[in-house]
């Protein structure tokens, strides 16, 4: 693989925007060696200094919002407005973990015959494997806690979307974080990613991607008993009860699945609607979906861009046959466009069972609360979801019953810098964001001293 170059494509124009050399095993090993060499110094940086470096990085990200947003928009096809908001979150994440550095600490435990202390120790070198849908965001979710805990890092962005991680690596150095602490390796998952998974000097893999590759990562990690955090696929439910504010629920529902052109692990791609409100809700939903502005990501008004690649578009298309409830428009000309699509389905249909990862929503009816819960949970996944109802007790009752890691009530919102994010069931395990992520990038050490 070493020396082979590849083109990075803008999915809205199908044009090449960069040529990069793909790394292979040798470059991956060299990056791990650099991270290993940098570890003793980085773990010993005083907590307040480590916090200051992370805060400086957060500020640099803020100052480079426009540049980073343009890179992300061109490489992923994201509408520029949304890309800016994502960069805003990246800065918030680094601010949050700057503050977390000295707030994640051990305890003293009462024992007989001495003093018992726990310490939070960094793991060492961690391998961070990131997908193409939110390249910069997901990188920051892993880098923040990894660095705050004192680990050094090899970061592998997805082959299709390496540009923002490369620019971030420059800002990391500019912030004053020592060389070798963060190393970015661009190359194929089955070579660079797999090498990180197998490498004996890598202590942990933080992975986001498909459930299928997540399974391979988990298997590979078993050999060296590596720690793993897996953020995998989703098939989340947007549960709309008849007692909801239907206008509000219908206005929000398209953005819960068509944001990022549906290429979102949190996409609420199964819209479950109570039968007695079904016709009215579907009417409102179709109207709201019709209003989603699909087109040039550089246009400030655009809400949905193209899919990531031609190959991915083929996969998405394979989920739609027959007459959908609604099919939107797409721009003419080049770009991997796919229309916003609403399909009537039962929960047994393929479109309701598999992660489409495109702008296709399955609309499914239910008769009562018990059936809503049963259908919502009838999936191997368990990442996110929404519940729409004006009945507070019902909202919490259903929230407790759903097998999913992240839920919102009367909202689409899934992620914030300070709150835990992660899956149940085959959506993975371990938590990102918030203080919970710090547990995934540290070990607890117990020390007893006889007195």
Indicate the residue among 54 and 316 with the shorter CB distance to ligand TXE.
316
Candidate list 259, 303, 355, 432; residue touching ligand TXE; CB under 6 A: 355
217 binds ligand TXE (CB under 6 A): yes
Q: Which residues contact 353 (CB under 8 A, 6 or more apart)?
A: 235, 347, 379
Candidate list 28, 133, 140, 412; residue touching ligand TXE; CB under 6 A: 133
- Look up 149 and say whether it is catalytic: no
Candidate list 23, 53, 91, 197; residue touching ligand TXE; CB under 6 A: 197
Indicate the residue among 141 and 366 with the shorter CB distance to ligand TXE.
141
**What DSSP designation does 432 have?**
B
Nearest to 20 by CA among 30, 7, 31: 7
The 3 state secondary structure assigned to 329-358 is CCCCCCCCCCCCEEEECCCCCHHHHCCCCC
Candidate list 118, 210, 410, 413; residue touching ligand TXE; CB under 6 A: 210
The nearest distance, CB 238 to ligand TXE, in angstroms, is 16
- Contacts for 62-67 with beta carbons within 8 Å, 24 or more apart? 62/88, 62/91, 64/167, 64/171, 65/91, 67/167
Buried-state track 408-426, b at ≥16 Cβ within 10 A, e below 16: bbbebebbebeebbbbbbb
Q: Which residue has the tokens 């489409």?
A: 356
Buried-state track 268-278, b at ≥16 Cβ within 10 A, e below 16: bbbbbbbeebb
291 binds ligand TXE (CB under 6 A): no
**Token pair in block for residue 345:** 């389905």
Q: Which stretch binds ligand TXE (CB under 6 A): 92-100, 209-217, 253-261, 294-302?
A: 209-217
Q: Which stretch binds ligand TXE (CB under 6 A): 99-107, 113-121, 129-137, 365-373?
A: 129-137
Nearest to 166 by CA among 66, 30, 158: 158
Q: From the candidates 72, 149, 265, 340, which is the catalytic residue?
A: 265
Within 232-271, the residues that bind ligand TXE by CB under 6 A are 232-234, 265
Candidate list 54, 130, 177, 282; residue touching ligand TXE; CB under 6 A: 130
The nearest distance, CB 234 to ligand TXE, in angstroms, is 6
Site residue total, ligand TXE (CB under 6 A) = 26
Binding mask 84-123 for ligand TXE (x = CB under 6 A): ----------------------------------------
Can you tell me whether residue 317 is helix, strand or coil?
Answer: helix
Q: Which stretch binds ligand TXE (CB under 6 A): 169-177, 230-238, 318-326, 330-338?
A: 230-238
Candidate list 65, 216, 309, 419; residue touching ligand TXE; CB under 6 A: 216
Q: Which stretch binds ligand TXE (CB under 6 A): 82-90, 205-213, 324-332, 433-441?
A: 205-213
The three-point CA angle 230-233-235 to 5° equals 140
Candidate list 77, 82, 131, 180; residue touching ligand TXE; CB under 6 A: 131
The nearest distance, CB 46 to ligand TXE, in angstroms, is 34
Within 175-194, the residues that bind ligand TXE by CB under 6 A are 189-190, 193-194
The nearest distance, CB 142 to ligand TXE, in angstroms, is 12
In this structure, are residues 189 and 132 in contact, taking their beta carbons and an 8 Å threshold? no
Cα torsion 258, 261, 266, 272 to 10°: value is: 30
Q: Which stretch binds ligand TXE (CB under 6 A): 87-95, 144-152, 204-212, 287-295?
A: 204-212
In this structure, are residues 41 and 364 in contact, taking their beta carbons and an 8 Å threshold? no
The nearest distance, CB 143 to ligand TXE, in angstroms, is 15
Using CB atoms within 10 A of its CB, is residue 291 exposed (0-12), middle (13-18) or buried (19+)?
Answer: exposed
**What DSSP designation does 421 have?**
B
In this structure, are residues 65 and 136 in contact, taking their beta carbons and an 8 Å threshold? no
CA–CA separation, 279 and 395 (whole Å): 22
Q: Which stretch binds ligand TXE (CB under 6 A): 211-219, 272-280, 291-299, 432-440?
A: 211-219
Indicate the residue among 123 and 383 with the shorter CB distance to ligand TXE.
383
423 binds ligand TXE (CB under 6 A): no
Q: Which stretch binds ligand TXE (CB under 6 A): 37-45, 74-82, 227-235, 279-287?
A: 227-235
The nearest distance, CB 439 to ligand TXE, in angstroms, is 21
Q: From the candidates 27, 72, 86, 231, which is the catalytic residue?
A: 231
Backbone angles phi, psi at 312, to 5 degrees: -65, -35
CA–CA separation, 196 and 217 (whole Å): 10
Residues near ligand TXE (CB under 6 A): 129-133, 156, 158-159, 189-190, 193-194, 197, 208-210, 213, 216-217, 232-234, 265, 312, 355, 357
Any idea which residues carry the catalytic annotation?
A: 231, 265
């Amino acid at each position: 693989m070493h020396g082979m170059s590849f083109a990075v494509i803008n999915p809205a124009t199908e044009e090449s925007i960069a040529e990069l050399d793909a790394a292979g095993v040798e470059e991956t090993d060299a990056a791990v060696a650099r991270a290993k060499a940098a570890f003793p110094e980085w773990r010993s940086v005083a907590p307040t200094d480590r916090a200051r470096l992370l805060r400086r990085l957060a500020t640099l990200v803020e100052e480079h919002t426009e540049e980073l947003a343009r890179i992300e928009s061109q490489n992923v096809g994201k509408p520029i407005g949304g890309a800016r908001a994502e960069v805003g979150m990246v800065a918030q994440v680094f601010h949050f973990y700057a503050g977390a550095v000295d707030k994640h600490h051990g305890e003293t435990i009462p024992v007989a015959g001495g003093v018992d202390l726990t310490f939070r120790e960094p793991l060492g070198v961690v391998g961070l494997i990131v997908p193409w849908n939110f390249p910069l965001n997901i990188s920051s979710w892993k880098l923040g806690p990894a660095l705050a805990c004192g680990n050094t890092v090899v970061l592998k962005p997805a082959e299709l979307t390496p540009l923002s991680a490369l620019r971030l690596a420059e800002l990391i150095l500019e912030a004053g974080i020592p060389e070798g602490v963060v190393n970015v390796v661009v190359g194929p998952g089955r070579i660079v990613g797999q090498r990180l998974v197998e490498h004996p000097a890598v202590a942990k893999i933080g992975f986001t991607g498909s459930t299928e590759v997540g399974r391979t990562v988990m298997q590979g990690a078993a050999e060296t008993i590596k720690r793993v955090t897996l953020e995998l696929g989703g098939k989340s439910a947007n549960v709309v009860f008849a007692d909801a504010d239907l206008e509000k629920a219908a206005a929000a529902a398209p953005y819960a699945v068509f944001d990022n052109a549906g290429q979102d692990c949190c996409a609420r791609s199964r819209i479950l609607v109570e039968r007695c409100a079904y016709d009215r809700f579907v009417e409102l939903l179709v109207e709201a979906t019709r209003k989603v502005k699909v087109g040039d990501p550089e246009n400030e008004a655009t809400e949905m861009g193209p899919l990531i690649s031609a190959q991915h578009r083929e996969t998405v298309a394979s989920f739609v046959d027959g007459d959908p409830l609604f099919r939107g428009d797409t721009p003419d000309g080049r770009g991997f466009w796919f229309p916003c699509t609403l399909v009537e389905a039962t929960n047994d249909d393929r479109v309701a069972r598999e992660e489409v990862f495109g702008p296709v929503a399955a609309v499914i009816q239910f008769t009562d609360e018990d059936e809503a819960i049963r259908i919502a949970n009838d999936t191997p996944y368990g990442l996110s979801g929404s519940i729409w109802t004006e009945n507070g007790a019902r909202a919490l009752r259903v929230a407790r019953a759903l097998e999913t890691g992240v839920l919102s009530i009367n909202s689409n919102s899934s992620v914030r810098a300070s709150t835990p994010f992660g899956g149940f069931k085959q959506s993975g395990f371990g938590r990102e964001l918030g203080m919970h992520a710090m547990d995934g990038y540290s070990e607890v050490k117990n020390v007893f001293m006889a007195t």
